[in-house]
Chains A and B, each alone.
Chain A
Amino acid sequence: MTAFFDIAIVGGGLAGCAAALHGRRMGASVILLERGRCGAQASGVNYGGVRQQGRHPAELPLARRSRTIWGNLQSLVGSDCEFRATGHLKLARNSEDIRDLAAHRELLGRHGIRAEILEPAELRLRFPYVAPIYAGGSFCAEDGQANPRLVAPAFARAARALGADIRECCAVEEVSVSEQGFLLWLRGNPVPVKARRLINTAGAWGAAIAASLGDHVEEAVMAPNMCVTEPIAPLMGPNLGICGGGIYIRQTGQGSVVFGSGLGAADRDQSRARPLADVTREAARAAIAMVPALANVLLVRTWTGIEGRMPDGLPVVGASPRLGGLFHAFGFSGHGFQLGPAVGAVLAELSLEGQSATDIDGLSMGRFEKRSAAATRPSVIQPDNHQ
């Protein structure tokens, strides 16, 4: 009972569950504490896009590594979680967008990711269901989509099978630091959980945990407004997005069309979020504008979840700038789903080996301490939201 775990993880989203699995695979003793159920917040209710294209350069090394893991989910966690490399097609509204996409293609190439720029004629030939109103697009064949409801629970099950102590419905009330490590005080339990290292993957609640240990960053909340239709015959191949953000659409293997645009209402304190009817209506309009065949399809469900958003729209991933043994990964700002598997691996490496081969320098918490420098970070393309 008094033994120290090698790693304690607070938050059973995808990043936390993946860290638990990778930590166990590296031989560490691991405990994961989840207030509700694993993957029930943002990791489980997001759009399900698995996309490298359109990301900020600081995220690309993680995205690249994650893509490899996505392709190996079956052997890693015993389920492919419905991951399919359907491709991701990013549409251009005008010639300026085309220039941005071409520049982004160069950037992707430097990370070993192939994308092809499509002229309008080829766009119409290959994707005839897309409205003929776009100036072109960029197609990344190895991107795709997966079923978000399955992924974090699959990682949690795999970690548990390897001996990780995964505790659901187990709220951490307070974290304190002792000479030997971290003490995690659980609700209704007078004896703390002890661990030498602490990984904070508490999503929208990550900054609060960080602050209780002296790391102060601003983290807002957002609730991507998601919609899904009845199943229809196969219509669309790739996951669709558009330059400048806005609407994103994919068709699942079972036939439903999932789309999203805009934000619902989120209440972090009540842990409650709900879609907004006006936002849903606007999303329906935008979906029909992009894929006109959706006009007569029935909407059957809308939903949202609470996600943390950092001031610059990029997550915090890395070691605490202050406290040894503390690692953060939160504030994924609506596009953490694809990154999750690699974030878990990197957190396990950072905490157990002190370093990771994956470059996450641009995501450190320290960037907010020299805000003026961070603001001038080169951005080739505006990252999409909520994908």
Chain B
Amino acid sequence: MNPSEPVVIVGAGPAGIGAARTLADAGLRPVVIDEGRSAGGQIFRKPEPELSRSLGDLYGFDAKPAQAFRADVADLEAVVEYHADTIVWSAEPNALHLVSCGRAFVQRWSRLIIASGAMDRVVPMKGWTAPGIYSLGGAQIALKAEASLIGRTVLLAGTGPLLYLVAYQYARAGAAIPAVLETAKPFNDLSALPALASGGATFARGLYFIAWLRAHGIPVLTGVVPVEATRGSDGRVNGLEFRCDGRDMFLACDALAVGHGLKAETQIADLLGVGFQFNVLQRQWLPKVDIDGRSSLPNVYLAGDGSSVRGSVIAAASGRLAAAALLRDASHEDEGLSERDRALIRRAARFRNALDRVFPFPAHIAETLPDETMVCRCEGLTASDIRRTVIASGESDINRIKAFCRLGMGRCQGRICTPAAAELIAATARIDISAVGRLRGQAPIKPTPLKHLTEIDR
């Protein structure tokens, strides 16, 4: 491979850096494109230099992997072509269209590894657009990157491992946590325990967070259905009404963080025309890949949470695997290490699947949202608007519903509203969620100022 046939990696989180390391070790000089100002993705997000804190403070149990990651990145800087702060706004066969510092440029590629990560998945509730309400990931970014809390009295609601991690991090950082509100009933299903236990240290860590929270008097309520985020006279959130065990309850707060697992960011693969399939456990559409990360298109590979939400350890392994597959496909040699990573992924799959089972996306809440709940906030569509569109049009394909009522046409480009809206459509049309289909990707991948597209470099 030579400079006229560039190998490009999108994303510099654990998966992207894992891939870059493997390619660099094989003597290649890949191009790495990353949205962040510094490598790390969401998990190893780096604070602004003036806010620097110790790795232990920042990453807790992940301090050691974070240190190894940082060392890897420092080491790679000399051997990869690295573009930080760069957004991929469109992807075409053999070309990525980028914007960096307000200027557009084009990066050719002959082989591409997409490691674009994941974002929060949220189910709306009444009042969720009030100031002071964040996604769990957003709350964590405030802490990691800006060394600030989203409030003094922070309520956390949702499902999944991130809920407990953020609660723990916020409590450690000095926030008052009135309660952790879990929409699932993860501790009821003992049948999942053996599979969860196969997670080893990761599982132990999760148990530790929950035990720590309880030991510090922070209640963890399960089977919660959020009803309404209430507002104070200043318009900001001041509490959450919810139901738990058949009782109506209320807790006051000055900030609320909500999240129901993660959602793979798959727009680049989508624009390129990669095949997708519905993953029942993760309840989302994911690109079709083999265990090494080969997509349905030649020369396009996927790794990390952007291909399937499985966490940072698997992300790194899948990045290495995708790079090794790329090398083999390009008839460079390498077989040795792949089997170890494949075994790691197979082992971890059992644990991840169990997590997806005990912390399911709360479809029951999404599909029964009260009519007046705002669902697509960009376009101002309530649950009722979406239900009425399904009934009036007789349509149940999410792209057709979009065409008729503007669902997902706003600034979030469907990122935020789609998971809940799809559940609403499926329930209203009485069809399986997978039959609702997938909102087709359209460039730009992120909203982009027109003038940034017109300033061309190179």
Contact = CB atoms under 8 A, between A and B. Distances in A.
Partners in one complex: yes
Interface of A: 37, 40, 44, 149-150, 153, 228-231, 254, 256, 274-277, 280-281, 284-285, 287-288, 294-303
Nearest to B95: A277
16 contacts: A254-B406, A277-B90, A277-B95, A280-B453, A281-B97, A281-B454, A284-B451, A284-B454, A285-B453, A288-B450, A288-B451, A296-B451, A297-B449, A299-B453, A300-B411, A301-B413
Nearest to A287: B450
Given A300-B413, A301-B442, A303-B442, A149 B450 contact: no
A196 to B, nearest CB: 30
A258 B454 CA distance: 17
Given A149-B403, A153-B404, A275-B443, A298 B454 contact: no
Contacts, number: 82
Given A277-B443, A302-B444, A295 B450 contact: yes
Given A150-B404, A277-B95, A301-B409, A295 B90 contact: no
Given A153-B404, A280-B90, A301-B442, A288 B454 contact: yes
A299 B90 contact: no
B368 interface: no
B95 to A, nearest CB: 7
Nearest to A288: B450
B90 A297 contact: no
B54 interface: no
A229 B97 contact: no
Given A230-B411, A302-B444, A303-B442, A295 B449 contact: yes
A281 B453 contact: yes
Given A230-B410, A284-B453, A298-B411, A277 B448 contact: no
B444 A300 contact: yes
B400 interface: yes
Interface string B311-322: 000000000000
Interface string B85-98: 00001101001010
Contact of B451 (A275, A280, A295): A295
Nearest to B393: A153
B441 to A, nearest CB: 10
Nearest to B379: A254
Contact of B410 (A231, A276, A294): A231
B92 A300 contact: no
A299 B447 contact: yes
Interface of B: 89-90, 92, 95, 97, 104, 106, 271, 379, 393, 400, 403-404, 406, 409-411, 413, 442-444, 447-451, 453-454, 456
A275 B441 CA distance: 12
Given A230-B411, A276-B92, A300 B447 contact: yes
Contacts of B271: 274
A247 B448 CA distance: 19
A301 B379 CA distance: 14
A149 B404 contact: yes
A280 B393 CA distance: 32
B25 to A, nearest CB: 33
Nearest to B403: A149
Contact of A296 (B90, B406, B409, B449): B449
Contact of A280 (B379, B400, B410, B443): B443
B261 to A, nearest CB: 26
A277 B451 contact: no
B385 to A, nearest CB: 13
Given A44-B403, A281-B104, A299 B413 contact: no
Nearest to B444: A299
Most central of A285, A300, A302 by chain B CB within 10 Å = A300
A275 B453 CA distance: 15
A351 to B, nearest CB: 28
A40 B97 CA distance: 28
A277 B449 contact: no
A36 to B, nearest CB: 11
A151 to B, nearest CB: 11
B410 A277 contact: no
A160 B324 CA distance: 57
Contacts of A297: 449-450
A302 B443 contact: yes
Nearest to A259: B450
Contacts of A301: 409, 413, 442-444
Contacts of B393: 153
Most central of A149, A230, A301, A302 by chain B CB within 10 Å = A301
Contacts of A280: 90, 443, 453
Contacts of B451: 284, 288, 295-296
Given A294-B450, A299-B448, A37 B413 contact: no
A20 to B, nearest CB: 17
Given A37-B400, A298-B411, A277 B92 contact: yes
A150 B402 CA distance: 11
Contacts of B453: 280-281, 284-285, 299
Contacts of A303: 442
Contacts of B449: 295-299
A55 to B, nearest CB: 27
10 closest A-B pairs by beta carbon, nearest first, are A298-B447, A277-B97, A295-B451, A277-B90, A149-B403, A285-B454, A284-B450, A284-B453, A281-B453, A301-B442
Contacts of A230: 410-411, 447
Contacts of A298: 411, 447-450
A300 B445 CA distance: 8
Contacts of A294: 450
A281 B400 CA distance: 27
